[in-house]
Amino acid sequence: MSTRPSDMPATITDSSSVPRSIPRSSTLSLTPSTSGSRDSGLAEGLLSDLLKLYDEWSNRDQIFLNVKDRFSGIRILRQDPWENLVSFICSSNNNIARISKMVQNLCKAFSPSLLTLQDPGATTLNNYHPFPSPAVLAKPEVSSILRGLGFGYRAEFVQKTAQMLVDAHGDASETWLRNLRLQSTDCARRELLKFMGVGRKVADCVLLMSLDKKAYRVNNKQQKEVIPCDTHVHQIAVKHYGVKGSFGKTTMTPKLYEEINTKLVRVWGDYAGWAHSVLFTSDLKSFASYGTSAESTPVIPKRKRARNTQDEIPQLPTPPAMPAESIGKSFNASINAMPLDTSGLDTTSGVKRRRIRG
């Protein structure tokens, strides 16, 4: 949980990094102001532009059109760069639920409780902790503590990255990260790739979701599209967009990464990274029925067929048991009682003869 007001989602702080729908002299705050009509107008402008983007992506891509109404709430939040960087370092060979749990445990272990609130929809109380600074996570003992929290090999990545930041930029580490928003996409990516545990995909996630690449323009120049690619995105590209490959695990080579990026940018155009986030979410198994009738319709489990008891099954009368000796005698008696047709056979002298045809 980040507590820095300047980095809250949807809050614009840099006059040089404003979306195209907002005048450079304006800022949009989540806090209601006395000029409610002005804030309302700015919000309407943002929504209008987003609706236009959804329409544009839908016109360009039938797959997007099929899911856009169900996932109209997906947003790029402009998250705090430091918190986002650590979170995506934790994402290596991991799943969303475990990543979230790891980040929560990290906050609890390295920062004091900020406040306690009742969990929405429940009676339990939750303690909320701010995200620890790079200086806190740079300490040598951090990696062993994180390993104890289940971070595995990612523990060293987090501690080393924090240490690299602090060694290079000291108390201004987080400010330096935020200022990457003012750099070109390629320059910002090169800086991120220097950190431990940061590859192309992790770097691109931070670029897209925290550093305004390509959420905003920089110095009125269009930024290069950023689409984070992993095996999941590769499978989407293979399934829907004609990228060659199999549906199994595939090694993400630099060549394949660029191929997927080029293809998806060609499909969606401007703000392709935003469109990618919608398709990525729609393809998750946990959202398979989201926004459909199946989600609201309770699933009634099929009743198992009750096993019939002996009292419920009609029983045939059981014949009385016969001794084995009696069974043999009865069988012989039955055989002996059968008429034997000896016509056409010469039975004299016990020698069998051929049948004599008349």
Q: What is the mean pLDDT of the chain?
A: 77
Give pLDDT, residue 33: 39
CA 228 from centroid of its chain's CA atoms: 14
CATH class of 64-79+217-294: mainly alpha
Region 22-35 average pLDDT = 36
Domain with CATH 1.10.340.30 in the chain: 80-209
Which of 68, 160, 201, 213 is the catalytic position?
201
Q: Which helix (H) or strand (E) holds 116?
A: strand 115-118
Is the pLDDT score of 22 beyond 90? no
- Which one has a higher pLDDT value, 22 or 80? 80
Whether pTM > 0.75 for this model: the answer is no
pLDDT tens by residue, 187-197? 999 999 999 99
Give pLDDT, residue 313: 43
Give pLDDT, residue 250: 77
Region 106-126 average pLDDT = 90
Is the pLDDT score of 23 beyond 50? no
Domain with CATH 1.10.1670.10 in the chain: 64-79+217-294
- Can 201 be counted among the known catalytic residues? yes
State whether residue 189 is helix, strand or coil.
Answer: helix
pLDDT tens by residue, 278-322? 999 999 888 888 888 765 554 455 555 555 544 444 444 555 555
CATH class of 80-209: mainly alpha
Alpha-helix residue ranges (DSSP H) falling in the chain: 36-60, 62-67, 81-89, 96-110, 134-137, 142-148, 154-169, 173-178, 185-192, 200-209, 231-240, 254-268, 272-282, 293-296, 324-336
Q: How far apart are CA 134 and CA 150, in angstroms?
A: 20
Give pLDDT, residue 322: 53
Region 251-255 average pLDDT = 90
Give pLDDT, residue 171: 95
Q: How far apart are CA 192 and CA 244, in angstroms?
A: 29
Q: How far apart are CA 197 and CA 220, in angstroms?
A: 32
- Write down how long the chain is: 358
Give pLDDT, residue 221: 67
342 — pLDDT class (breaks 50, 70, 90): very low
- Which one has a higher pLDDT value, 165 or 21? 165
Q: How far apart are CA 27 and CA 288, in angstroms?
A: 37
Q: Which tokens is 189 given? A: 């990516």
